[in-house]
Amino acid sequence: MPVKTLTSISFSPTSLPLSKAFQRCLSQELYQHRDKQSDHMTINFRDKSYSAENGGYHPVEIALSKTSENHYSILYITDFSYCGGPYPELERDLDFDIGNGMAFSRYRGWQNIRQSSVNELYKLWQSNFVAYVDMGAYDEIKVSSH
């Protein structure tokens, strides 16, 4: 059986651009958690100190579907944040539902993922996410299989 390496993990093209740096972040987690790989997986990135009172880095959930040995499709990317009055709750802030071609933002609701405004928002989100991963902002990363 061939040994999986970071470079052998690839991703299906999507309607949103997947930067090499973003693909590297996902590949690293898949490689580090190769014992948990299955046909459907979720990667959760969490800053354990994030709170409604103190802020911090939003939790992010990325769902993947394995299409072949080392090839994956991204189903959705969801960014959560605390919202609401006196008792804030963790809610969806951004959701790039790649599998259904839709995107959600708390202030604009659901939109077609192919709109240029969604593409710009996604590119900004993606570059920030990669920077946060690179600086170690997420101190808890979990990969679960379904």
Nearby residues of 124 by Cβ (< 8 Å), 6 or more positions away? none
- 35-72 pLDDT per residue, tens: 767 889 999 999 999 999 999 999 999 999 998 888 99
User: Is 77 a domain residue?
Assistant: yes
Q: Can you tell me the mean pLDDT for 138-144?
A: 95
Which pLDDT score is estimated for 39?
Answer: 85
Where is average pLDDT lowest: 14-18, 30-34, 86-90, 102-106?
A: 30-34
User: Is 1 a domain residue?
Assistant: no
pTM: 0.91
Q: Report d(CA 9, CA 26) in Å as an integer.
A: 9
Q: Number of folded domains in the chain? A: 1
Q: Can you tell me the mean pLDDT for 91-105?
A: 96
Domain holding 128, by residue range, is 6-145
Where is average pLDDT lowest: 29-38, 50-59, 117-126?
A: 29-38
Q: Can you tell me the mean pLDDT for 106-110?
A: 93
Which CATH number characterizes residue 37's domain? 3.10.450.430
Which pLDDT score is estimated for 38?
Answer: 81
List beta partners, residue 97.
102
Tokens of 88: 């804030």
User: Is 92 a domain residue?
Assistant: yes
